[in-house]
Every structure is written in C-alpha cells, then in structure tokens.
A and B are shown apart, each in its own frame.
Chain A
Amino acid sequence: MAGLTPQQHKMHPDPFPRKPWHSVLSVLVVVYLVYSINTMGLDWQRFIDGLGHADKLLDRMFPPNFSRWELLLEGLLESLEIAVISSAAGIFLSLFIGLLAARNFMPNWVSVPVRGFIAICRSFHPVIIAILFVKSVGFGALAGILTLIIATIGFIAKLFAEAIEEISFKQVEAIQATGANFISVILFSVMPQVFSRFIGFATYQFDSNLRNSTMVGIVGAGGLGGTLFSAFQRFDYDFVAAILITIIALILFWEFLSTLVRRIFQCRS
C-alpha cells in the first residue's frame, strides 16, 4: 500500500523544521539572566545574613499587640468601606464599559478607544494610581476609592468584554428577530449567557480590592495601610503583627463568603 511499504519515496519537506532563531533566543535569555544576577550583586552570603535579621524582626513581632484595637478597627472598617464602594462602582461602570469594548456588538470607532481606555486603567499598578490621586484629591479614603475603581475597570471591564465576545450569536439573532430593541436584546440574549461568569469575575475583583484597600493607605489613600505604615515607621512590630493577622482574618472571611455567593448563583444560573 502506498506510504506503508518501503518504496521509492518522493522527498517531502520535514513538517517540523528546526528554526535557528529559537536556539539563539534561548541562549540570549540565559545570558541575560546570568548578567542580571551579577549586576544585582546577589549572592548566598547576603541571603544568609538576611535570615538573621528576619529572625530578630519576628522576635519583636510576637506576641502581637492588640491593645490599640480601636485604631485597628477604625482602619479596618475604612478599608472595608473603600473596598465595597470601589467594587460596587467599578463593577457597575465595567458592565457598560465592557459592552462598549466588545467587538462583536460595537463598531471599531467605539470599541477601539474604549479598549484603549481600559488598557490605560490596567497599565499602572494601583500604588502608582493611588499616588496620583493622593496628589490630586488629597489624603484620605476618596483617593483610595478612586484608585480601586480604576483598577477594577482595568481588570473587570476587559474580562466582561471578552466574555461578551465569546457568546453564541445565534441566541442574539433570535431575540433580534422578535423586534426587540438593542437594550432588550442585551438583557435577554447577552446577559443570560454571561451572567454567571460576571458573578465569578466580580467576586474575584472584590477579593483583590479588599487586599488592595489595605495597601493604598501606605501612600496615604486611606484604610488600614496607613496604620500599618506608621506602625512600621515607629518600629511597633508587635502592632504590625496584629494588623497583619487582622488582614489575614479579613481575607479568609471573604474567602468563606465568596464561596457561599458563588454557590448561590450557580444554583440559579
């Protein structure tokens, strides 16, 4: 049979030819890695010394000191408020921004600029955005809220847009064919297809906002981070430990809640 018994073969080209630039690229990556380690002056001795310092730090952190619990609670509540307000506002805005960025619903002249806006929101780390907002609206929770709204849009709006781009257009056509207007088409053919994924994205984002809300305070944008930073500066390491434990408790509590939320919505959808 042709191809199975050894015969005089016509020479076919190798479908998996070696590409020399692959090898060149790999060598370059390794060279750069070695170069970076050398310029940073990283060596084993520094690491060993560092461990000793960490030991001293841990010694001073334990036992954690909860005596200033009022300060701690105040910071915690402010962080929580920042996280809730920024998540609610950010997710709500992302619903619309995500739809405007979806290329299967919007013409290019809408989706391209909106995508650009989302990319800008995502291109800076929250700390940088927080510094900008602290400079422009002053110290306090407002700067933190605005920061996390931007961070939420940068992440969620993009995921929303991608979820909308992956839906089945057949269901959309069926609703269009009933004579429904644009908003009804979105409500009845797009939302049902993306809703449970949206819930998933939103709970992840709230999780991330919760953690970031304890961080923006370090640059003065309100919340527990401010308390943490000043405790560090005053070498109150036992209070630092108390704050860190509180943050861990907060995150674990949300982890528990979010599992619950997702279970509730999975039953429905």
Chain B
Amino acid sequence: MTAMQSYLDIKDLKKEYVQGTPILKGINFSIEQPGIIAIIGPSGTGKSTLLRCINRLVTPSSGNIIINSQDASNARGKMLRQLRRQVAMVFQEYNLVERLSVIENVLSGRLGYMSSWQAWRRQYSQHDINTAFELLAAVGLSDQANKRADSLSGGQRQRVGIARAVMQDPSIILADEPTSSLDPKTAVEIMSLLERFASEKNIPALVNMHDVKLAQRFATRIIGMSNGHIIYDGPPQDISDDILKEIYGGESWLD
C-alpha cells in the first residue's frame, strides 16, 4: 500500500465470462485522489465489466480489488454487502425501481444499513429521511418526491439515480455510462452533479464514458482502455490524437 490513503486498488484484475476469451486482461490502477476519473474506450472493451467487478455484480476471474484496505474480490455474504454499501453505482439506464416513488428510490440507498424487517416496515431513521429530501432538493427534484419513478424524464431519472447513490454515503461512486442515454445538455448537467457530489463528499467518482470531450472537460484523470488493457492513465490534457487512435483504432473519426 502506498503512503497515501488509497480509495481503491485494482491489482492484476482478470475476467473471462467464457473460458479462453478474456474481457479484462490484467488491469492495474489505484485511486488516491477524489474527483472524477473517467474511463474511456470503445464499446465491448470491458469498461462495464471493470466497474461491475468493483462492486461485485460480476465476480472477477482473478486479481484483487482493495477497497478501504479490504479485498472485495472474494467477499461473500455479509462482508460483500458491507463492501457494496461503500461503493455506490449509477447506471446507464438509471435502474430506478419504476413503481416506487421518487423519494422511496432515494431512500433505497440506505437498504444496506437496514434489516429486512426495517426495510419491510419502511422504518427509515429521521436522519435518513431528512438527508433524502435534502439530496432531492440538491438535484432539483423536490417537487417530484411523491411521483412514481417511471413518470420522470431520462435526465430526471438519472438525478434520482445519483441521489440514491449519494444516499449510501459511499466512499467511492461508480458510474457506468451515466450520460450515454441523455442529450448533450443534460449530459453536462449530470456530469456537473457527479463532480459536485464527489467534491462535497471528498470521494472519487469512477465514470465510464465514450464522449472524449466530456471526459476531458470534467475528469481530473483519464484511464483509456482498449481490448481489455489499460492503454493510457494520466491527466486529461495529455491525451493526444495518437493515444486516441490507439484506444479506439482507425483515425477517420478524428476531427
């Protein structure tokens, strides 16, 4: 471990869904600084798999994932659930529980801290309820609290998704293509929200994206992936056309 407190350490992470066709071919990086870290790369290169390995929606084939000096790669049962509540996830298609109200969706971020009896009886602490309404105000949806989640627009849903993630009081946020289903203006708003919460909570947000310009605008660090490997890991301004060519292949799409 480095001298500095590390939020996340990934060591030689490999994943193959089908024997012999690895998706992740040995990923190494560690995150020591808060703020937005963008992961860019073409579709099918394993960005999603990487994020889903970190909160163990996917079990890695080998390697280590160290979150707050605990190894998540083999965690099971209660330990896995405790790790998951430190790692909040924002999804490309928002994944809100559509038939629940907006405020219930935000509060569901606390489920990792509650027994199922408390969950069944909806026994949230007063503190949690206050936090949920404050978060809803922070994402600008105070007046939608009691609407059903499926009545919201895409941008509004993603705001709820972010509020739910922050509700977990996580030590890291993972966002899997959070803006890919949104228009460019809303995408910028969503990235600003992620940036704001990351800095308020002083935690890193690991964001998969394929919009390079948007990544360069918000990220403090960019990780470029191609074909299951990390090709680039550094500050956004150092990404050159040559590196982009290496990440995405070809060059006809550049300018």
Contact = CB atoms under 8 A, between A and B. Distances in A.
B133 to A, nearest CB: 18
B85 A178 contact: yes
Given A192-B99, A195-B99, A179 B112 contact: yes
Interface string A176-209: 1111110110011100110110000000000000
Contact of B111 (A168, A175, A196): A175
Contacts of B115: 181
A195 B100 CA distance: 11
Given A187-B116, A187-B120, A178 B111 contact: yes
Contacts of B24: none
A171 interface: yes
B81 interface: yes
18 contacts: A170-B93, A174-B95, A174-B108, A175-B97, A176-B84, A177-B87, A178-B112, A179-B82, A179-B83, A179-B86, A180-B81, A180-B111, A181-B115, A187-B119, A187-B120, A188-B119, A195-B99, A196-B99
Contacts of B88: 177-178
Contacts of A189: 97
Interface in B74-120: 81-89, 91, 93, 95-100, 108-116, 119-120
B73 interface: no
B164 interface: yes
Interface string B135-171: 0000000000000000000000000010010001000
Contacts, number: 85
B57 interface: yes
A174 B89 contact: yes
A184 B100 contact: no
Contact of A184 (B57, B96, B116): B116
Given A173-B57, A174-B91, A180 B96 contact: no
A233 interface: no
> Which 7 pairs of residues, A with B, have the shortest CB-CB distance?
A179-B112, A179-B85, A180-B111, A183-B116, A174-B95, A179-B84, A177-B89
Nearest to A185: B111
B168 A179 contact: yes
A80 to B, nearest CB: 31
B208 interface: no
Contacts of B86: 179
Nearest to A193: B99
B55 interface: yes
Interface size, A (range) = 20 to 34
Contacts of A175: 97, 108, 111
A190 to B, nearest CB: 10
Nearest to B111: A180
A269 interface: yes
B119 A177 contact: no
A196 B83 CA distance: 33
Interface of B: 55, 57, 81-89, 91, 93, 95-100, 108-116, 119-120, 161, 164, 168
B98 A181 contact: no
B98 A177 contact: no
Contact of A171 (B83, B96, B109, B112): B96
Contacts of B84: 176-179
A196 B87 CA distance: 32
A195 B99 CA distance: 10
Contacts of A181: 81, 115-116
Contacts of A195: 99
A177 B58 CA distance: 11
Nearest to A171: B97
A179 B81 contact: yes
B91 A180 contact: no
A193 B86 CA distance: 26
Contacts of B99: 192-193, 195-196, 269
Nearest to B117: A183
Nearest to A179: B112
A25 to B, nearest CB: 40
A111 to B, nearest CB: 21
B151 to A, nearest CB: 13
B112 to A, nearest CB: 3
Contacts of B93: 170
Nearest to A194: B99
B202 to A, nearest CB: 21
A181 B82 CA distance: 10
Given A171-B95, A171-B97, A269-B99, A177 B57 contact: yes
A183 B114 CA distance: 11
A87 to B, nearest CB: 22
A181 B95 CA distance: 18
Interface in A139-183: 168, 170-171, 173-181, 183
B237 to A, nearest CB: 33
A189 B97 CA distance: 6
